[in-house]
Amino acid sequence: MNSEIRRSLRQYSYVIPLILPALIGIAIFQLWPIFESIRVSFYDYKMISGSMKWVGWQNYLKTLQDPLFWQTVRNTLWFFILKVPVQMVFAFGLALLVQTTARGIGILRTIILIPAITSMVVVSVIWGLMYHPNNGLINSFLEYLSLPPQKFLISPKQSMPSIALMMIWKDVGFNMIFFLAGLMGIPSSIYEAAKIDGAGGWEILRYITVPLVRRTTVFVLITNMITAFKVFTPIFLMTRGGPANSTRVIVLYLYENAFIYNKMGYAAAISILLGLFLLTISFISTRDKPY
């Protein structure tokens, strides 16, 4: 007994130094903030003066009654609807194209992935200039095609679709690599069997490829959902939520409440609601791993 305790102690003296650094980091910068967030969400906390007043559930009630909060929820959903379906179909098509072993196709795959590894700030800034109504590249391109110039980011109707287009351009490569991995997982014998049975290209796609990458599709959809609900940087840089609140999304509203309006408690309550929502989506995704 005694020696067993000593042995397990010896064992821990080896294990603890190995696991401690990472655990401390996780405890301080991941877990503590969660508790801090829950705590602050029950207070009226002004960071500048440092005053803290217990308000109970008030911050949550205020959030749920705040029309601007619901506007940001609708805007975020709109961004999701504009971006995700198009991006996924596009990514699937690209994966099918890039999957072939034709010469030079590797270069195309690399090119499609370059926006995905480019900094979000650089992408926002360059596309921000491309969308410029007078000197932007896109209007000059439309002029070349004899089409009327557009207002893009300064029009409440076009602002969100413009940002969604840019984000599709940036993120489609990410989705493509997951679809590619899914396609690689389909054994070639299935395709051969289908060809022998006389199936055409369209039928193979409809009855074999699409159903067999279903799990990948679900996984990609869920991760896209999460990333769409977290969108912040491009909107913060390109429109600041304007024009006329047309691009004010949840995380931007959260940021403004915390760091501009000095309403930390309110921002914490929004954080908790957003966190709970994303957590629910994540739970679904862990049940459905890509493969």
Written as six digits, the tokens of 189 are: 């014998």
Taking CB under 8 A as the criterion, the residue among 59, 63, 88, 136 binding another protein is 136
The one-letter code for the residue type at 78 is W
CA distance readout (Å), 252 to 46, 74, 79, 238, 239: 19, 13, 13, 12, 11
Q: Minimum distance between the CB of residue 152 and another protein, rounded to whole angstroms?
A: 14
Binding region for another protein (CB under 8 A) out of 57-65, 75-83, 115-123, 188-196? 115-123
Q: Please tell me whether residue 23 binds another protein under the rule CB under 8 A.
A: yes
Nearer to another protein, 86 or 278 (CB): 278
**In degrees rounded to 5, what are phi and psi of residue 103?**
-65, 140
Token code pair at residue 31:
């877990």
Q: Does 208 bind another protein (CB under 8 A)?
A: no
Binder of another protein out of 52, 77, 86, 97 (CB under 8 A): 97
* Longest distance between any two alpha carbons in the chain, whole Å: 88
Task: Supply the minimum distance, in Å, between the C-beta of residue 109 and another protein.
Answer: 8
191 part of the interface to another protein, by CB under 8 A: no
Residues 40-79, mask of contacts with another protein (x by CB under 8 A): x------x--------------------------------
Stretch of 51-59, 74-82, 172-180, 191-199 lying at the interface with another protein (CB under 8 A): 172-180
Q: How far is the CB of 71 from another protein (least distance, A)?
A: 18
Smallest gap from Cβ 177 to another protein, in A, equals: 5
Q: H or E stretch including 232?
A: none
Told to check if 290 binds another protein by CB under 8 A, we report yes
H helices of the chain, in order, are 2-26, 32-40, 58-65, 67-99, 105-117, 120-130, 137-144, 159-184, 188-196, 201-204, 210-212, 214-229, 233-238, 250-259, 264-287
- Choose among 179, 161, 158, 180: nearest CA to 169: 161
Least separation, in Å, of the C-beta of 82 and another protein? 17
Q: Are 203 and 131 in contact (CB under 8 A)?
A: no
Residue 57 or 141 with smaller CB distance to another protein: 141
Q: Does 95 bind another protein (CB under 8 A)?
A: no
Instruction: Let me know: does 186 contact 209? Beta carbons within 8 Å.
Output: yes
Asked if 148 touches another protein (CB under 8 A), the answer is no
32 binds another protein (CB under 8 A): yes
